[in-house]
Amino acid sequence: MYPAGTGEEPAVDTSLMDSMAWARTHFGAADLGDRRREKRLVRVAAALARKPQGTLPGSFDGWAEMKAAYRLLEQKAVTYEKIIRGHWEYVRARCREPGEYLLVEDNTQLDYTSHPAAEGLGFVGDGGGQGIMLHSTLALRIERWQEESPQVSVMGLFAQKPWVRQHAPRRRHETKAARLARARESQVWAEALREVPPPPEGVRQTYVADRESDVYEVYEEFQSQPARQYIVRACWARAQDGAKGSIFEAVGASPVLGRFGLELRARPGAAARTAQLEMRACPVTLRAPWRPGGKGAACLVRVVEAREIDPPADVKEPLHWVLLTSWPVDGFDPALRVIKTYTRRELIEEYHKALKTGVGVEASELSTCQRLLALLGILAVVAVRLLDLKFQAVTAPDEPVVPACVPPEALAVLERKYGRPRGGWTNATALVAIARLGGFPARRGDGRPGWLTLWRGMKQLLPMLEGYTLASEGKCG
């Protein structure tokens, strides 16, 4: 799934342990204007992949290497985009190969409020904190369909855009006309699709986004790019063109297509459960809203509604999704595909958890926004690496663990610590064993390991593996 990066096409190496090979693969083609900087970038990326603690002192064993990393990130020529662009270009190229792809988007914020000395940061939260806003687009490939649900693999970052808020998020006295006339944060949604050529014949790319993406310009963009598809959760009760009532009222009045159960994962304050949903669908034409310079064209979309019926008494907010899409919805199975595909949005949420909790991007105490962004350019790709490891254990838990993912030496260390699992090493048992090193109890009913215990376990395993390797080579003792 990962790029050659160096201009050549070496064997794919996704090993969590072989960090130098991984770093060459992802960052070896970066153009920083100086070959020495480019080589240093590879070494810094390898160190951060090996010990991703978010701070440079926690990732380097020696003072000289750590100082060199600081000097690299201080260079004005070493920017976030120059560091990460090679990864984007590879992922975008792979998403033009025949097949179906999902481009899953979401916003998050990197909070550095506890580091007040950092310069150049913007507002986050309600305006009382400081940090960096971040919009990520994660590319997934649909490998197959199973009961109308897409089974996907993680390709990498299709795009990512960091920015700083120059003003607090709420402008109390701003008129609608003034808001529409200025640059708006909502314009980052689907921005990557304007930068990248439409896919060739035989390729379907579908943009999947939450309610923040329910911006009329998004639908206009897709009207002009018929080769691309979309599934967007509705936020606004938009008016119909040439018909009375909102789109919510239109789909709510449509006949029920059928009922189905949907597994919902645990969230803060809510346990995992299976929701029973009722589904409706219909086509509608959106009336174009007013914009500076005039009114746009109406947009034909399809609407799918999934509404929970008979929710448990302790559920405060029953599930209710209204999705706007360009996919066909003429029947139970096509409409169900839209809903099941939308659930893959959870992977972009998992990616942001990997970025924050897994690789500790918010732990850095670098002194300027420029340096923090340069560090983000590396850690953003490290987080993809971690996401893929965890995802393999979820999607193919019983498959034998691949040496490129967890090498035999690492399994030997884990086996010495915990014994060999019944049935051998699989994606799931290897992940649980690593997480146990990080404090995961692994009791029956504990569910899957979280990001924190998984990455703590990785940090414990890596020095153990280094000692095992040295002992095997007769270099210690």
Average pLDDT over the chain, rounded to an integer = 85
Distance CA 164, CA 167 (A): 9
The residues with which 448 forms a beta bridge, in sequence order, are none
Query: In 3D, which of 418, 454, 457, 455 has the Cα closest to residue 437?
Result: 457
- Tokens at residue 27, please? 């960052």
Distance CA 453, CA 459 (A): 10
Residues 422, 428, 434, 440, CA torsion sign: negative
DSSP character at residue 6: S
Q: What pLDDT is recorded for position 152? A: 92
- Tokens at residue 23, please? 């770093």
Share of the chain above pLDDT 90, in %: 49
H-type helices in 287-424, by residue range? 332-342, 346-353, 369-395, 408-418
Class of the CATH domain delimited by 396-471: mainly alpha
Residues 373, 374, 378, 379, CA torsion sign: negative
Residues 6+ apart with CB under 8 A from 269: none
Residues 6+ apart with CB under 8 A from 175: none
Pairing of strands 290-291, 294-295: antiparallel
Q: What pLDDT is recorded for position 4? A: 33
Residues 10, 14, 17, 21, CA torsion sign: positive
Distance CA 263, CA 273 (A): 6
> Out of 3.60.21.10, 1.10.3720.10, 3.30.70.1060, 3.90.350.10, which CATH number does the structure's domain 94-351 have?
3.90.350.10
Helix or strand holding residue 191 (H, E): helix 191-195
Instruction: Pick out the chain residues at pLDDT < 70.
Output: 1-18, 52, 168-190, 293-294, 402-405, 473-477
Residues 6+ apart with CB under 8 A from 386: 16, 52, 354, 358, 359, 451, 454, 455, 458
Domain boundaries, the chain: 94-351, 396-471
Residues 6+ apart with CB under 8 A from 434: 406, 414, 449, 454, 457, 458, 461
DSSP secondary structure string for all residues of 442-457: --TT--SPPHHHHHHH
Spatial contact of 120 and 370, defined as CB atoms under 8 Å apart: yes
